[in-house]
Amino acid sequence: MNENELFQAALGLLPPWQVDRCTFDKATGRLDIHLDFPRGSFFACPVCGVPCKAHDTSERTWRHLNFFQHQAFLHARTPRVECSQCGVHVVAVPWARSGSGFTLLFEALVMMMAKAMPVIAVGRIVNEHDTLIWRIVTHYVDAARAKADHSTVTQVGVDETASRRGQKYVSLFVDLDERKVLFATPGKDAATVAAFAADLQAHGGNPEAVTEVSADMSKAFSKGIAASLPNAKVTFDKFHVVRLVNDAVDEVRRLEQKTNPELAKSRYVWLKNPENLTEGQWEKFDALDIVNSHLKTARAYQIRLTFQDLFNQPADKAKAYLDKWYFWATHSRLPPIIKVAKTIRKHQDGILRWFISGINNGILEGINSLVQAAKAKARGYRSDRNLATIIYLIVGKLDLSPLPT
Ligand SMILES: [Zn+2]
């Protein structure tokens, strides 16, 4: 086997394609593999498949996988055929998709790396500008999403994630059965739900078939769900609800801190459940002597723990339990607690719906933490569209199958 035959085998080339010659430039560390086909070869017409002779050719170059540490390139004159039925067409080459300056194997490597590291780092490793890497990633994610089938979706979770430090948001819609992101879109208003419903339809789904939705208590989502997912019953995500009560506890603490400065460093103690406290936090707890204390914060904390316990009640006792809790909370003389209790009262149907639907955004929280990790790694993702692309790649469970593996 000579070196041409060796490369031919390594590239998996099939006739009429063959390696014509290879050149290695020591100074630049660059390998150039020139491919060709014998005079008189036939190529299938890309439209009807009938074998045709090459009509003319044009010279093309593709970046390929590195040869050890050296950059490697394929060169070939790509033929056009003149089919008697279909006219003149460029023949597809088996090692690259049309329009790309990279081989399929190179793109497969890029996609594999993009799942594990920031696009900018992929660019650095393969020595290409990150906009080119984004182009590859976007192409395959878009192509895979175009084929995605959402026809069985009935239970959806919606949540938002901050897209840049602070202000901007991307809303995520998740299939709670399949545990995958169906749709990611900038914004967190009612229009994002309408956009989701349209996207669901575009993927063979039916907005009227969505019967259960888990969401936070934001008015925007509620409004959007009522308008765009008409048969959906909303379950207010219990993590969000508990977090609201937690925020109220923290507000009580901040107010009380003015007269009880020893509370200043205890913020995180009150946010936790007793079973999750660290040794050090227990010491803070002990120092505050909360069991015997008359601290308002301690009272608020007890009210929060009791609220949380709602979700441990049997379904038929839940409503009565919540009523009792509401009475206690509204008589606590702690304004932030009274306020949050009223909010909960107003949303109690959606909160109690959990006892029927059993759904929550726990899956979303899990996905969200993957998204956070992706964001932390994806420094410089340049746009919300790129962020959505990475979210689909990592938590969309897409079928990228045309890529070689
Ligand atoms: Zn043809």
Q: How far is the CA of 18 from the centre of ligand 1 (A)?
A: 24
Give residue 381's pLDDT: 67
Report the mean per-residue pLDDT for the chain. Answer: 89
pLDDT band at 142 (very low <50, low <70, confident <90, very high): very high
Q: How far is the CA of 44 from the centre of ligand 1 (A)?
A: 8
Q: What mean pLDDT comes out for the span 28-54?
A: 93
Q: How far is CA 293 from CA 65, 143, 289, 298, in A?
A: 68, 62, 6, 7
Quick: pLDDT tens for 257-310: 888 888 877 788 788 887 787 787 777 777 776 666 788 998 999 999 999 999
Q: Residue 66 gets which letter from DSSP? A: E
| Residue 140 confidence (pLDDT) above 90 | yes
Q: How far is the CA of 169 from the centre of ligand 1 (A)?
A: 49
Q: How far is the CA of 43 from the centre of ligand 1 (A)?
A: 10
Q: Which residues contact 300 (CB under 8 A, 6 or more apart)?
A: 248, 249, 252, 253, 270, 332, 334, 336, 337
Structural contact between residues 400 and 144, judged by C-beta atoms closer than 8 angstroms = yes
Give residue 214's pLDDT: 92
Q: How far is the CA of 53 from the centre of ligand 1 (A)?
A: 11
pLDDT band at 229 (very low <50, low <70, confident <90, very high): very high
Q: How far is CA 127 from CA 87, 104, 130, in A?
A: 39, 17, 9
Give residue 167's pLDDT: 60
Q: What mean pLDDT comes out for the span 214-220?
A: 90
Residue 357: CB atoms within 10 Å? 17
Q: How far is the CA of 194 from the centre of ligand 1 (A)?
A: 43
Q: Which residues contact 288 (CB under 8 A, 6 or more apart)?
A: 262, 263, 266, 295, 298
pLDDT band at 248 (very low <50, low <70, confident <90, very high): very high
Quick: pLDDT tens for 335-372: 999 999 999 999 999 999 999 998 876 777 777 777 77
d(CA 401, CA 405): 9
| Residue 325 confidence (pLDDT) above 90 | yes
Pull the structure tokens for residue 305: 């723990």
| Residue 199 confidence (pLDDT) above 90 | yes
Give residue 195's pLDDT: 97
Closest to 203 measured CA to CA, from 399, 402, 364: 399
Quick: pLDDT tens for 173-187: 999 999 899 999 988
Question: What percent of the chain has a predicted confidence (pLDDT) above 90?
Answer: 61
Q: How far is the CA of 220 from the centre of ligand 1 (A)?
A: 54
| Residue 112 confidence (pLDDT) above 80 | yes
Give residue 306's pLDDT: 94
Q: How far is the CA of 101 from the centre of ligand 1 (A)?
A: 26
Pull the structure tokens for residue 149: 């089938």
Q: How far is the CA of 84 from the centre of ligand 1 (A)?
A: 7
d(CA 195, CA 185): 8
Structural contact between residues 134 and 128, judged by C-beta atoms closer than 8 angstroms = no
DSSP code per residue over 153-169: --EEEEEEEESSSSS-E
Q: How far is the CA of 14 from the centre of ligand 1 (A)?
A: 21
| Residue 2 confidence (pLDDT) above 90 | no
Q: How far is the CA of 77 from the centre of ligand 1 (A)?
A: 20
d(CA 284, CA 278): 10
| Residue 83 confidence (pLDDT) above 80 | yes
Decide the pairing of beta strands 70-83 and 30-36: parallel
Q: How far is the CA of 338 from the centre of ligand 1 (A)?
A: 76
Give residue 401's pLDDT: 76
Q: How far is the CA of 100 from the centre of ligand 1 (A)?
A: 23
Tokens 């192409």: give the residue.
139
Q: How far is the CA of 92 from the centre of ligand 1 (A)?
A: 13
Q: Residue 264 gets which letter from DSSP? A: G
Q: How far is the CA of 79 from the centre of ligand 1 (A)?
A: 14
Q: What mean pLDDT comes out for the span 236-246?
A: 91
Residue 114: CB atoms within 10 Å? 24
d(CA 234, CA 304): 23
Q: How far is CA 64 from CA 20, 108, 131, 139, 286, in A?
A: 16, 11, 18, 18, 64
| Residue 106 confidence (pLDDT) above 90 | yes
Give residue 86's pLDDT: 93
Query: What backbone phi and psi angles, to 5 degrees, belong to 355?
Result: -70, -20
Q: How far is the CA of 41 from the centre of ligand 1 (A)?
A: 16
